């Protein structure tokens, strides 16, 4: 048995196709991108090696990156916490009801399968003062003139600006279903006997949630949090389709790391610099995933 | 696997229980509104003439007006685009499932020292910023003559779908008790046969989950599709939709109609697979 | 067993790829001796409502018909937002389209200048222009200004792009609203403020503008800088800098004017802002003359009769020439690596032949670049106003965001002025562009 499962030829046979496609399409270009990140690389030209220059600029001399780090890190922390919180609550509520569970669950998961570019356009109109929420408030008499209400997507006051907060909530709306599903799956997997035993010992349902459910779904928490962290650090689509161009372009207050990569690489043809920012992003993803798995996934349920 | 607390747990106060239950349903129903209203709003707006949308964006459409849908469908060649999207998404799904589940099986059930490392290696794929690899990939594909063809789109899509497929499928295979495999091995099963006869049937639900995820992701993908495909006849749905967001176009309702058309297939696929998904995730999460 | 079927399906799919990949390669090659040229453009020519884009479609159809069996033009289109991404990807992959549309200025620089690219991307066109008297059909040599480069260009001094039409940035106004408010057409900045105040008092939004799409606001900023006497060449040569009193003055004027903008200016993108003028919600729209094509293409019938045009006012007390006009031309360039340069040139000629240029003026409402005679009675009435503004202009200059050293500098300028508009102190708000020049230009 053991010998059969250890056979090298089998391992190679099963792993090779995925390994080849994955490496050729993603790993080779990312290694090239790492090399480009050490270069000045212009359109239609050969890259010239400049060492760590791009990285030094990123951390010391690029105001856009300062804003992007601030927004992306806020966005990541917000996503991790809010999705953990609301995902767990939804999962706990849904596993506790009988009737309509599938319906609710399917509705909450629905936005995950829709294109974020299309949803971004929808939310752009919802938060546009002329058409969206302000108009509703005007119709309800809460605002005299919709046009003079809050500028949800272009207000720039405060340390974390309003558009980023709005986007954070839209992202929560769109992706909380995913976290909910993951938690639900794990909760449903917990043996009923444990709860029964706890109930007999006089444990209330709330207590059961904190003392039994939470510890038992820790491994899934680590998984869901890692997925959230990676997704929110790489976040691009909603920002691109919701935020006015002036706010997410060069010098914009609503830039995130991915929009800087887009601008530098695809609009201003500075591939070397864009690749360096991309490498920083990749490294951040790795570090955050590592930390989450180290501190959240202390012990797994056996 | 459903947990039914109502029958199994002792509660003291029935009235209080009922109140809590109602509160939960009210809350959940309110959330349903938060989810459904914006989506209905697009459908409603798509049925209005543009001028009505501008003057009264939240009013109900005056009639069932399908002019915008017809315009979007015919002028935007959305039928053709939908076919392309379907071909690309389906092929990607089949290949990534086949290739990904094999790799996941090797990682979860075959015994070798570096299997954890291999999983991490594939995980890196989720963290790669695609704007960084876009140009080098395109240059490479141009050299291979793979640009402007659907195949040239399927290959990168497969690669991007692999990490999540492998990650989830590995979880599924891991949850299958080793005893089942041991029994089969004793009966003289080879490893490929083990994969087909024991592994795959037990991980069926995993296919549903990863299949749906990969399908909708690729159905919605814009950036690669836009750069890799030049010919109108081979453009996918998200690319064709950008036609309605032209430089000087302010015809929002036509744009909404296009979006609705593009979204319908994903909703259909979702409705078919939605219930299996949770069962799938549930089964995947159960540990031996 | 089910899974085997799935795998079987996968195999079938893999087989069918070969077929798919196969059809990917059938075109592009010379089939039956027909030379194919690709033309890349930033609007989908099938679905577009823009009259100028429709004109391009017509030129291509005529070309394909006239040269049937000899040349064939294939159109590659994207939306505007992603145009340069796609074009640059093609260039990077060695597939530069034979003819592509491009904005002169910073964007064209990327394809011509030595410090932007090692290998030239756009081809020098002088030899074609000088043959057959082609160049003589154009209104004057001045129309080529945007595509002309000096010795700094890789292939030597010459013309690298051919203009297709000219749009002048003017002030469009709703004559009905002006009349009602008793406002007069302003010729100076203070008169403009005066007119705006009257319009505001009469209960309408005086100016509609987009600060969400940065270049719209920066077009006004460009005008104000120029009217205050700023010379961009001086900035580039570091004879002055971005903290010049002229720029600061322009910034203060933007802040002063902003009280007359619609309250949602910050969030509105260009489409929404211009629509407010077309829908009769605002009295003044400062916009390129491509607006004419939109007014006639998508506005309520009869609206065009209410529209008047005047030149951007002078700044009181400034010695700068008030008769300078911001002009922008859509241009086409040819790939330096084109395999069929003759076919490409033949195609380019179809965009500037009499039929196309007549269409440009009469239908598209843009200023033609050739000496073509067009029927002024057919052309939209606003064109004659724009022509008046344009003809009385002593000189033209480009959009600031396209006239600075590169597109990144242009974007930086744009965002500085969006900040200024939002109320940041001008001297602080101009720091980013000052720094960009210190780091990249004045070294």
- Say whether pLDDT at B246 is over 70: no
C264/A43 Cβ within 8 A: no
Beta bridge partners of C220: none
Closest CB to C21: pick one of B76, B97, B151.
Answer: B151
Average pLDDT over residues A64-75: 96
- Give the residue, B148 or C15, on which the prediction is more confident: B148
Backbone phi, psi, residue B77, to 5°: 50, 45
pLDDT tens digits along B83-101: 999 999 999 999 999 999 9
- Give the residue, C44 or A2, on which the prediction is more confident: C44
Domain ranges of chain C: 35-166+329-387, 168-326+398-440
Q: What is the spatial distance between Cα C432 and Cα C418, in angstroms, rounded to a whole number?
A: 12
Encode burial over A103-123: b for 16+ CB neighbours within 10 A, e otherwise: ebbbbbbbbbbbbbbbbbbbb
Among chain C residues, the shortest Cα distance to A262 is held by C85
Q: How far is C403 from chain B (nearest CA, A)?
A: 21
Sort out which chain C residues have CB atoms less than 8 A from A63's CB and list them.
432
- Residue where the block lists tokens 């209080």: B16
| DSSP letter for each residue of B89-119 | HHHHHHHHHHHHHHHHHHHHTS--TTHHHHH
Token pair, residue A27, equals 């790993």
Share of chain B above pLDDT 90, in %: 27
SS3 content of chain B, % helix, strand, coil (to 5): 80, 0, 20
Dihedral angle, C-alpha A273, A279, A284, A289, nearest 10 °:
160
- Say whether pLDDT at A298 is over 70: no
On whether the A66-254 domain is CATH 3.40.50.720, my answer is no
| Weakest-pLDDT range from B100-109, B127-136, B245-254 | B245-254
How many beta-carbon pairs below 8 A join chains B and C? 127
pLDDT of residue A57: 94
Closest CB to A15: pick one of B9, B28, B118.
Answer: B118
- Say whether pLDDT at B161 is over 80: yes
Q: What is the spatial distance between Cα A40 and Cα A45, in angstroms, rounded to a whole number?
A: 10
Domain ranges of chain A: 66-254
**DSSP label at residue C168:** E
C411/A251 Cβ within 8 A: yes
On whether the C35-166+329-387 domain is CATH 3.40.50.1010, my answer is no
C411/A151 Cβ within 8 A: no
Determine contact, residues C414/A246, Cβ cutoff 8 Å: yes
Terminal-to-terminal C-alpha distance of chain A: 24
C269 touches chain B (CB under 8 A): no
Sort out which chain C residues have CB atoms less than 8 A from A261's CB and list them.
none
Nearest to A227 by CA among B157, B276, B213, B118: B213
Q: How many CA atoms within 13 Å lie on the side-chain side of A75? A: 29
- Say whether pLDDT at A295 is over 90: no
Predicted complex ipTM? 0.86
Q: What is the spatial distance between Cα C120 and Cα C139, in angstroms, rounded to a whole number?
A: 28
pLDDT of residue B8: 44
Closest CB to A21: pick one of B99, B137, B238.
Answer: B99
Q: What is the spatial distance between Cα A151 and Cα A129, in angstroms, rounded to a whole number?
A: 6
C92/B94 Cβ within 8 A: no
Q: What is the pTM of this model?
A: 0.89
B227/C86 Cβ within 8 A: yes
pLDDT of residue C279: 86
Q: How far is B15 from chain A (nearest CA, A)?
A: 16
Average pLDDT over residues A80-84: 95
CATH topology agreement for domains C35-166+329-387 and C168-326+398-440: yes
- Give the residue, C1 or B61, on which the prediction is more confident: B61
Q: What architecture does CATH give domain B68-285? A: Orthogonal Bundle (1.10)
Q: What is the spatial distance between Cα C347 and Cα C73, in angstroms, rounded to a whole number?
A: 8
Sort out which chain A residues have CB atoms less than 8 A from C116's CB and list them.
42-43, 269
Reading chain C (443 residues) residue by residue, the pLDDT tens digits are 444 455 455 445 444 544 454 444 444 444 568 899 999 998 888 877 778 889 999 999 999 999 999 999 999 998 888 898 899 989 988 889 999 999 988 889 889 888 788 888 999 999 999 988 899 999 888 888 888 888 765 667 889 999 999 988 999 999 999 999 999 999 999 999 999 999 999 999 999 999 988 889 989 999 999 999 999 989 999 999 999 999 999 999 999 999 999 998 988 888 888 888 988 899 999 998 888 877 776 677 788 888 999 999 999 988 888 889 998 889 999 999 999 999 999 999 999 999 999 999 888 888 899 998 888 888 887 788 888 888 888 888 888 888 888 889 999 999 999 999 999 999 999 999 999 999 988 98
- Say whether pLDDT at B160 is over 90: yes
**DSSP label at residue C228:** T
Q: Any idea how long chain A is?
A: 302
B288 confidence band (pLDDT: 50, 70, 90): very low
Beta bridge partners of C331: C102, C163
pLDDT of residue C153: 59
Best-predicted range by mean pLDDT (B58-67, B154-163, C267-276, C379-388): B154-163
Token pair, residue A254, equals 């609503």
pLDDT tens digits along A126-184: 998 888 888 888 888 887 777 778 888 888 888 999 999 999 999 999 999 989 988 88
Q: Where are the alpha helices (DSSP H) in C320-421?
A: 341-351, 354-362, 381-391, 400-403, 407-421
E strands of C273-340, at which residues? 282-288, 307-310, 324-334
Nearest to C354 by CA among C339, C375, C377: C375
User: In chain A, which residues touch C (CB < 8 A)?
Assistant: 42-46, 61, 63, 128-130, 145, 147-148, 151-156, 244-247, 249-252, 263, 266-270
Q: What is the spatial distance between Cα C41 and Cα C95, in angstroms, rounded to a whole number?
A: 15
Beta bridge partners of C31: C34
Closest CB to A265: pick one of B4, B131, B186.
Answer: B131
Share of chain A above pLDDT 90, in %: 47
Sort out which chain B residues have CB atoms less than 8 A from C92's CB and list them.
135, 138-139
Sort out which chain A residues have CB atoms less than 8 A from C272's CB and list them.
128, 130
pLDDT of residue C374: 87
Q: How far is C386 from chain B (nearest CA, A)?
A: 20
Q: How many CA atoms within 13 Å lie on the side-chain side of B57? A: 24
B238 touches chain C (CB under 8 A): no
pLDDT tens digits along A16-50: 999 999 999 999 999 999 999 999 988 878 889 99
Domain ranges of chain B: 5-46, 68-285
A299 confidence band (pLDDT: 50, 70, 90): low
B72 confidence band (pLDDT: 50, 70, 90): confident
CATH assignment of C168-326+398-440?
3.40.190.10
């Amino acid at each position: 048995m053991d010998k059969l499962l250890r056979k090298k030829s089998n391992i190679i046979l099963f792993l090779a196709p995925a390994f080849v496609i994955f490496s050729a399409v993603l790993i080779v270009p990312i290694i090239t991108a790492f090399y480009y990140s050490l270069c000045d690389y212009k359109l239609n030209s050969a890259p010239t090696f400049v060492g760590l220059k791009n990285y030094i600029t990123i951390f010391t001399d690029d105001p856009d990156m300062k804003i992007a780090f601030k927004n992306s890190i806020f966005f990541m922390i917000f996503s991790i916490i809010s999705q953990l919180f609301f995902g767990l609550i939804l999962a706990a509520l849904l596993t506790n009801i009988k009737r309509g569970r599938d319906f609710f669950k399917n509705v909450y998961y629905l936005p995950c399968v829709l294109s974020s570019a299309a949803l971004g356009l929808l939310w752009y109109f919802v938060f546009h003062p002329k058409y969206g929420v302000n108009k509703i408030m005007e119709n309800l008499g809460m605002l005299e003139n919709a046009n003079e209400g809050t500028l949800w997507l272009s207000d720039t006051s405060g340390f974390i600006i309003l558009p980023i907060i709005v986007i954070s909530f839209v992202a929560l709306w769109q992706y909380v279903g995913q976290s909910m599903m993951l938690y639900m799956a794990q909760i449903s997997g917990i043996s009923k006997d444990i709860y029964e035993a706890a109930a007999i010992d006089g444990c209330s349902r709330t207590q059961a949630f904190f003392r039994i459910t939470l510890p038992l779904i820790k491994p899934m928490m680590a998984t869901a949090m890692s997925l959230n962290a990676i997704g929110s650090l790489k976040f691009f689509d909603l920002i691109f389709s919701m935020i006015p161009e002036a706010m997410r372009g060069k010098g914009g207050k609503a830039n995130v790391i991915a929009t800087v990569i887009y601008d530098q690489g695809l609009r201003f043809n500075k591939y070397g610099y864009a690749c360096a920012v991309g490498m920083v992003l990749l490294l951040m993803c790795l570090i955050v995933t590592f930390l989450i798995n180290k501190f959240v996934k202390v012990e797994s349920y056996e | 696997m459903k947990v039914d607390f109502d029958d199994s747990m002792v509660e003291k106060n029935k009235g209080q229980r009922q109140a809590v239950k109602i509160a939960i349903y009210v809350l959940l129903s309110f959330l349903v509104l938060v989810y459904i209203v914006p989506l209905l709003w697009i459908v409603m707006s798509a049925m209005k003439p543009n001028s009505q949308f501008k003057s009264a964006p939240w009013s109900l459409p005056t009639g069932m007006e399908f002019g915008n849908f017809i315009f979007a469908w015919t002028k935007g060649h959305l039928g053709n685009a939908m076919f392309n999207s379907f071909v690309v998404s389906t092929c990607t799904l089949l290949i990534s499932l086949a290739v990904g589940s094999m790799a996941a099986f090797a990682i979860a059930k075959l015994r070798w020292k570096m299997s954890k490392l291999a999983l991490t290696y594939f995980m890196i794929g989720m963290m790669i910023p695609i704007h960084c690899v876009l140009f080098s990939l395109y240059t490479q594909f141009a050299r291979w003559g793979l640009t402007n063809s659907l195949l040239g789109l399927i290959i990168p899509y497969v690669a991007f779908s692999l990490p999540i497929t492998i990650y989830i499928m590995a979880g599924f295979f891991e949850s299958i008790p080793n005893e089942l495999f041991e029994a089969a091995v004793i009966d003289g099963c080879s490893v490929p046969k083990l994969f087909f006869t024991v592994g795959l049937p037990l991980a069926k639900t995993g296919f549903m989950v990863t299949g749906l995820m990969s399908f909708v992701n690729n159905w919605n993908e814009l950036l690669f599709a836009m750069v890799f495909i030049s010919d109108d006849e081979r453009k996918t749905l998200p690319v064709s939709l950008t036609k309605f967001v032209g430089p000087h176009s302010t015809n929002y309702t036509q744009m909404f109609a296009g979006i609705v058309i593009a979204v319908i297939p994903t909703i259909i696929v979702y409705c078919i697979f939605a219930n299996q998904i949770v069962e799938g995730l549930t089964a995947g999460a159960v540990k031996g | 067993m089910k899974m085997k079927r799935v795998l079987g399906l996968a195999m079938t799919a893999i087989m069918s790829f070969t077929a798919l990949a196969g059809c990917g390669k059938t075109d592009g090659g010379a089939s039956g001796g027909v030379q194919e040229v690709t033309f890349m453009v930033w609007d989908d020519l099938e679905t577009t409502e823009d009259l100028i884009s429709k004109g391009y479609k017509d030129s291509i159809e005529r070309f394909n018909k006239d040269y049937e069996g000899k040349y064939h033009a294939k159109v590659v289109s994207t939306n505007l937002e992603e145009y340069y991404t796609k074009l640059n990807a093609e260039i990077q992959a060695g597939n530069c389209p034979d003819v592509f549309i491009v904005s002169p200025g910073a964007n064209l620089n990327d394809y011509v200048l030595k410090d932007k690219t090692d290998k030239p991307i756009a081809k020098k066109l002088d030899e074609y222009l000088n043959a057959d008297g082609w160049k003589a059909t154009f209104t004057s040599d001045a129309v080529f200004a945007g595509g002309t480069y000096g010795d700094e260009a890789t292939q030597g001094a010459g013309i690298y792009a051919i203009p297709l039409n000219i749009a002048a940035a003017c002030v469009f106004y709703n004559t009905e609203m002006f009349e009602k408010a008793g406002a007069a057409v302003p010729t100076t900045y203070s008169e403009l403020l005066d007119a705006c105040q009257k319009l505001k008092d009469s209960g309408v939004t005086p100016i509609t503008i987009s600060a969400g799409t940065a270049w719209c606001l920066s077009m006004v900023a460009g005008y104000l800088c120029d009217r205050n006497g700023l010379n961009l060449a001086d900035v580039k040569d570091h004879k002055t800098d971005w903290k010049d009193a002229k720029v600061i003055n322009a910034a203060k004027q933007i802040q002063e004017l902003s009280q007359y903008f619609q309250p949602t200016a910050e969030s509105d993108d260009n489409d929404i802002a211009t629509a407010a003028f077309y829908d009769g919600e605002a009295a003044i729209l400062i916009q390129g003359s491509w607006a004419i094509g939109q007014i006639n293409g998508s506005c309520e019938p009869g609206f065009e009769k209410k529209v008047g045009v005047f030149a951007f006012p002078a700044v009181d007390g400034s010695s700068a020439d008030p008769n300078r006009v911001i002009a922008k031309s859509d241009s086409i360039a040819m790939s330096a690596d084109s395999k069929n340069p003759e076919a490409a040139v033949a195609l380019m000629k179809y965009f500037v032949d009499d039929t196309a240029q007549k269409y440009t003026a009469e239908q598209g409402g843009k200023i033609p670049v050739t000496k073509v005679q067009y029927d002024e009675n057919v052309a939209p009435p606003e064109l004659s106003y724009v022509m008046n503004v344009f003809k009385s202009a002593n000189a033209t200059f480009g959009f600031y965001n396209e006239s600075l050293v590169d597109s990144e500098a242009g974007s930086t300028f744009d965002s500085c002025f969006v900040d200024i508009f939002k109320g940041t102190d001008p001297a602080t708000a101009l720091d980013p562009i000052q720094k960009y020049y210190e780091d990249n230009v004045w070294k």
